[in-house]
Chains A and B, each alone.
Chain A
Amino acid sequence: MNDQWTDRLSEYVDGELANGERAALEAHLTTCAACRGAARELRQVVARARALDDRAPKADLWAGVAKRIGAGKVVDIRSRRFSFNVPQLIAASIALIVLSGGGAWLALRPRQTQPSTVGSRFAPRGGLTLAVSTGRTDAAIADLQDVFERNKSRLDTSTVRVVRQAFSTIDRAIAEARTALEADPGNAYLNLHLADTMRRKLELLRRVNAIAAAQS
């Protein structure tokens, strides 16, 4: 098998031929069993390549890496230059808080089949207090969010992206806390966690809006 189309089969399989060439090659395939078979096998090779599994090294290589980077020694943060900007660090710290908060919630959360006892002594009475307080905070967040949307063009796109990721992380945490509170409204930890998470969103919005304002 070696005709004028043989060397173009990979481009055909990858969809890289121009329309005219593709039509001509497809016409050729109707009459050339060898090229037709080759094209089918090339697709199998591509599929096999994509399905390759990553395998672990036979030995743990971390010890060698750790030795070379000086892991285990006290690292002077001031000696390392890093260029995460303020919003990125805010996002990272918020994610850390949310994750650790989620972990604490998992540890404290009672199983569904068991009545809640944790925190019941501290439960907001009737849940009304919670609804009122989050309502105010919701309004404040909405106001600051509007300001952010108006001023975000003053920030560079990577900063806006990182801030949005942080918002997304916080919003998920807020939603989870609210969902959990619906099932267990008297849980003191969850109430505090929700309030703290919303407060952090307020702080983030204030800081980001201040940064945006400073760009004007």
Chain B
Amino acid sequence: MARQTLEEPLTRDEPAALADAETVDTALAASGDASAFERLYRTHVNRVHSLVRRMLDADEADDLTQDVFVRAWQKLSTFRGESAFGTWLHRLAVNVVLARRKTLGVERGRFQGGEDPLENVSARRVTPEISMDFEEALANLPDGARQVFVLHDVEGYRHEEIARMLGVVPGTSKSQLHHARMALRRYLDR
């Protein structure tokens, strides 16, 4: 960015400038400017793709990520600027993923307390790419535990919100989260 090559930095902080630029791009995209929408896509695609990949199978992540952005384009008319565009997009992505799960009838079993859900995870050495190991362990969690873990511990939703999204009671969300954490803890013990 040209600004970084100047001898003197601007007094204006970068996040504020980026937020302003995003406000502009959101308004432009809402009026039909695909170039502005592409800039929004470039800014947010990594986060959306990671969310989708963690909540569904990796081989579906590309298609679902595209679905999220197409849906965002179609629904920009409902974005009222009451939150940041990224927050709105992220919630939209969660809804698209959950709807996809329903369509697929994903019900690979709630967590069964007596089994180790990470039996098939290879025991890699702890390396600088340790997050990859963690991602692999996460991907092998049973579906219910995985959804709750991603939404709560990775994405920061509260149990009450997760319960509404998944159509369960908060106690179920808490229980699934605990099982997921305990499973990942056991994996990390290896």
Contact = CB atoms under 8 A, between A and B. Distances in A.
Bound together: yes
A99 interface: yes
A112 B20 contact: no
Contact of A162 (B6, B73, B77, B81): B81
A7 B178 contact: yes
Contact of A80 (B11, B46, B77): B77
B174 A11 contact: yes
Nearest to A103: B2
A9 B2 CA distance: 50
A27 interface: no
B77 to A, nearest CB: 5
B135 interface: yes
Interface residues of A, number: 67
Main secondary structure of the interface of A (DSSP, over half): helix
B23 interface: yes
B46 A56 contact: yes
A169 B20 contact: yes
Contacts of B46: 54-57
A122 B18 CA distance: 33
A179 B11 CA distance: 9
Interface residues of B, number: 63
Contact of A82 (B10, B69, B77, B131): B77
A24 interface: no
Interface of B: 2-3, 6-8, 10-12, 16-17, 20-21, 23-24, 26-28, 30-35, 37-38, 41-42, 45-47, 49-50, 53, 61-62, 65-66, 69-70, 73-74, 76-78, 80-82, 131, 134-135, 149, 153-154, 174-175, 177-178, 181-182, 184-185, 188-189
Interface of A: 7, 9-11, 16, 38, 41-42, 44-46, 48-59, 61-62, 64-66, 68-72, 75-77, 79-85, 88-89, 91-93, 95-96, 98-99, 102-103, 106, 111-113, 158, 161-162, 165, 169, 172, 175-176, 179
